[in-house]
Structure 1
């Protein structure tokens, strides 16, 4: 390339950027802007054939690279599931467009051969434009995007066959070079499929794993593979597009596809600029004004008829009208192959220049308008939705497809599969979570992939790579990336990852690993961190728990054999009344401490054998058993007990103990712990002497502390607190008669106790 070509392309790029900027400011799709630049530069291309040749080369390379990236995302399971609808829709649209377009051409005064050529040309849709638009809108992975991609591939195969047939029946003329025999083309296609299957099965993974050791080499090799496959496809008559697609499919099953896709996205966009420039440059505007009326009719036919037939076919196959409508919009334009097809007919003498101009004008109109239709597809669907009700035949197939998608939902994404990240992945998978692991170590990726885990090889500093991740599905992102594993210039890559997470507006929760509290605080400064994991501290905690659990287990085993209630509860004499405490947790422990401080004898009962064994070693009079057992209560001396205190935090258990105790001793003082006022009322209905609601007592104590600290005399505070407590107790106890009964029971019990001592 000489300096003149370099200068011309440089000015062309600058002009494309300026027009694209203007179009963006006017809210116009950039594709339309680039095509407009190509149209404006058409005369320039004619005067500079060398520059035009270089631009066509870059355009062809961009097309091959685009289809290569599309192939990377093809999933064989997806092809198997969506194959029938893609085949039916693709072939149905081709047959419909050709079958209806032919009589329309005859009605417009075209001869039968020209009508046939135009009808066939209108069946081809632009895979390149559609894939680019869906990719920019991030809809290529949606259901309608996948179906659209499927039937566009079917159309591309039909294009190849149509051109092969046309070249074969022509008078010794071939336009695509290489083989012209249809049987040879089909044989070549089958050979490509066989080679592709063998490559994927035996060579793709080990080859990509070796290349992935050097990410730059992986990218260069991928570009070379895409270009070489496109060249081979062109040589055997399948076309550069299908060759590039096959190259992408061949490595699409490897865990390295996302990194390749992310690294090549910017290069793809740059090269596709030249493709759209070349489309604009190839439009012959000199013949556009001669067939305006037929062009309008055919344009409306493509813009409206093609989407409707796709919608009808998909609705008949059990898809929602929304899915069919959005997929149908992708065929509302003709392809660059339509112009090539008409050019072949012109060279064969089957059509004249006016027919080529007619299809060119239809292409210009449909490409421009379909770009807007696809770009604003959601708004267009909302506007057309009332008119689409006749196409609602029931979405039974789409419901099944949605269920399949749900099964593949990712719950947690873990960045970094080192020692901690790898173990976390395994533990979460064992717990039933669907986890995706991301790492830049090809050996780790290969190991986990062989073990059946979902992993991806990728550089999370690549912004495009984030677009490949299922961020909308995941509920958690865990950053377990150690220092210095991603960027040489960044000591802590987690800061960059947190920024990327915030940039992509991740809606789930984020957990990070940290070694110290200071490190955790630094990472939490920007916000967006829900959980901090300390691998070393957590490991120590887990180890300590295992030790204590084993110790508790041995204590429990000892207690189970030695703490039988019948053998531990000593006989109780009638002249030694005491308090029975049921429940020896924190509350019961404090109650026993206060009783001991006032020299009140007590005996405690708990159903936790390990706790009983531990407290007995400390010398406490605590025993193991179920306090709802009447026989056990008798052995504890409930007949002569001074009072019963129930401190358990389980409301149902508290009520059961009170019922059993009240059955044995109707006059016994029973003080019980209540969860709240409602629970206290229920306990009073069971005839407890006093119920102590946790919420009320906490409120009274808070009030007491506040008033004293504010300078209110303590005596007044205590008096008011007692007054309020009595007021609340009276409200909870119910009627005055029941209160008198309880006071009488309490007085009778006190007299009996005084007489006994």
Structure 2
């Protein structure tokens, strides 16, 4: 009797953990992109790598992944947790703050790219449904690689970084209907296609709505109950239970495990335990990402690449040029300079990791032939491997365009006053920032305003407003605004993350600078004060206090006493958040 029958793929699991334990520190030490490292290891040790020679050299079987079953199991587990991590990042608040880029920019990118690539696929002789599928699949970019590159470049808070993240967010949402589309195309049935499509969509929608309606009422109270025990292992077990439980529920109704994991992430993202969940799974994040990309590398057939390398490389180049052009035009239309638009275009020009999932499912259901599927997987794989080089080329080309054609950003920053002292710097020039500028101007106080939305800057400058384009979280821009001589910094941005980055950067560079910040509520105010803000004005709190002032004044309570009452209440509210 086989004593290991109850623990399948033990050797493969031990091999992966050994490789991860050795590989991750080495990649970090030599500053090599982890995604590319795991992809390469998957190619080398996968069924199409050294595993092919295991029969001639049996010792190779110890360090190789030789079978399809273990590869598919590793891939499915990796995809499931990758979808969970993506869902965890897509909170409603974050989505709403970037709604223009997500819904307009992201949708335009997805549809335009799909039409262009799908038309080419149809022109090359593919059936309409295959051309449609390929167009949609290749419109996706790699969330994992792009996010890692943006983090390494510290460009997440920049306008280009925010636009790139927004398009990736829309693409992540598009994965779910794409998986449903593949499932529909793979159904071999004699029934009317519209009936099959309608029934499947209704079933999918009913399952998603049921999970959300029930999950939102159950998940938060359950987490609240167990969190009171303050036991990390219980919290970890509960996180896994919710993830695997919802994934199992979607699989039970005929949908994918990945969709269920994505929904679990979305549900947890809306709770107050989102950050605790992120901290809990942080140690496993690198392992899960490595697991997925190593499994992706295992599916790359080097022999197939050698047979078709000319067409594969030509297809990679065409993919990059099409996607870079579409993204660059959309970013430029959204208000970014030509240089930053070109840089963002090349950053998002690769294929996406979920192409492996979707094409793999399409191949197993005979929608795509094995040869076409392998060809397309190789195109995506090579584009992923080349992403750091394309991103670097885009950065260099973007800088050249900025300098050669004197972009909006360089023009406006160059026009910043050479000498300023005892002035006020306004970070964020929406309605609140403009109101502050009007008051300061009437009092004869010099100010400098900076806004990170290039479209807003262009419109305001046409109206004669003195506002400059830039990211207030960048130390070099702070120096250009002569922050060392400023009387104060006023942060009025309505995006919590952007305000936090600006406060952290200013406090780090100028420890004694007075920083006054607008916040959404008491929780956000506490975070900003912890980050170094001198004083914070919560919108909801101040509106309530102002109305309270009018009410108490109508009762003939002395104004001095009212101010004392409101000051106490203001301090009490913020202090209470610190105790929670």
> TM above 0.5, one fold?
yes
Task: Provide closer, same or farther for how the CA distance between residues 204 and 228 of structure 1 changes in structure 2, counting only shifts above 3 A.
Answer: closer
SS at match of 2:494: helix
SS at match of 2:493: helix
Q: Which residue of 2 is the match for residue 626 of structure 1?
A: none
Q: Which residue of 2 is the match for residue 85 of structure 1?
A: 101
Higher relative contact order (CA 8 A, sep 6+): 2
**C-alpha deviation, 1:306, in angstroms:** 1.1
**Superposed, which structure 2 residues align to 1:96-495 within 5 Å?**
96-105=112-121, 110-111=125-126, 118-131=134-147, 133-134=149-150, 144-170=160-186, 172=188, 181-185=197-201, 188-189=204-205, 192-193=208-209, 195-196=211-212, 199-200=215-216, 202-203=217-218, 205-213=220-228, 214-216=230-232, 217-236=234-253, 239-321=256-338, 324-325=341-342, 327-346=344-363, 351-373=368-390, 381-383=398-400, 385-386=402-403, 395-397=454-456, 403-405=493-495, 409=499, 452-454=522-524, 474-475=532-533
Q: Which residue of 2 is the match for residue 36 of structure 1?
A: 40
**C-alpha deviation, 1:270, in angstroms:** 1.3
Unaligned runs of 5+ in 1: 414-430, 437-448, 457-468, 478-757
CA contact (8 A) 2:339 2:400 kept: no
Measure, in 1, the Cα distance between the counterparts of 2:405 and 2:202. Answer: 40
CA contact (8 A) 1:161 1:182 kept: no
Measure, in 1, the Cα distance between the counterparts of 2:267 and 2:205. Answer: 15
Measure, in 2, the Cα distance between the counterparts of 1:470 and 1:298. Answer: 48
Task: Provide closer, same or farther for how the CA distance between residues 137 and 395 of structure 1 changes in structure 2, counting only shifts above 3 A.
Answer: closer
Number of positions where the alignment pairs a residue of Structure 1 with one of Structure 2: 428
Measure, in 2, the Cα distance between the counterparts of 1:134 and 1:472. Answer: 26
Measure, in 2, the Cα distance between the counterparts of 1:389 and 1:186. Answer: 53
Measure, in 1, the Cα distance between the counterparts of 2:406 and 2:127. Answer: 37
CA contact (8 A) 1:165 1:182 kept: no
**Superposed, which structure 2 residues align to 1:595-610 within 5 Å?**
none
Task: Provide closer, same or farther for how the CA distance between residues 369 and 319 of structure 1 changes in structure 2, counting only shifts above 3 A.
Answer: same
Q: Which residue of 2 is the match for residue 672 of structure 1?
A: none
Q: Which residue of 2 is the match for residue 64 of structure 1?
A: 80
CA contact (8 A) 2:86 2:172 kept: no
Unaligned runs of 5+ in 2: 53-60, 410-452, 458-468, 472-491, 505-514, 536-580
**C-alpha deviation, 1:300, in angstroms:** 1.6
Measure, in 1, the Cα distance between the counterparts of 2:366 and 2:27. Answer: 40
Deviates more, 1:259-268 or 1:215-224: 215-224
Measure, in 2, the Cα distance between the counterparts of 1:243 and 1:352. Answer: 28
TM-score computed with the length of structure 1 as normaliser? 0.47
SS at match of 1:283: coil
CA contact (8 A) 2:212 2:267 kept: yes
Larger Rg: 1
**C-alpha deviation, 1:265, in angstroms:** 0.9
CA contact (8 A) 1:298 1:362 kept: yes
CA contact (8 A) 1:125 1:333 kept: yes
CA contact (8 A) 1:122 1:334 kept: yes
**Superposed, which structure 2 residues align to 1:461-610 within 5 Å?**
474-475=532-533
Task: Provide closer, same or farther for how the CA distance between residues 256 and 234 of structure 1 changes in structure 2, counting only shifts above 3 A.
Answer: same
**C-alpha deviation, 1:285, in angstroms:** 2.2
CA contact (8 A) 1:373 1:380 kept: no
**C-alpha deviation, 1:268, in angstroms:** 1.6
Deviations 1:132-162 (CA, angstroms, capped at 9, x unpaired): 5556666556655554444334334444434
Kindly report the root-mean-square deviation, in angstroms, between the aligned alpha carbons of the 2 structures: 4.6
Task: Provide closer, same or farther for how the CA distance between residues 275 and 133 of structure 1 changes in structure 2, counting only shifts above 3 A.
Answer: farther
SS at match of 1:124: coil
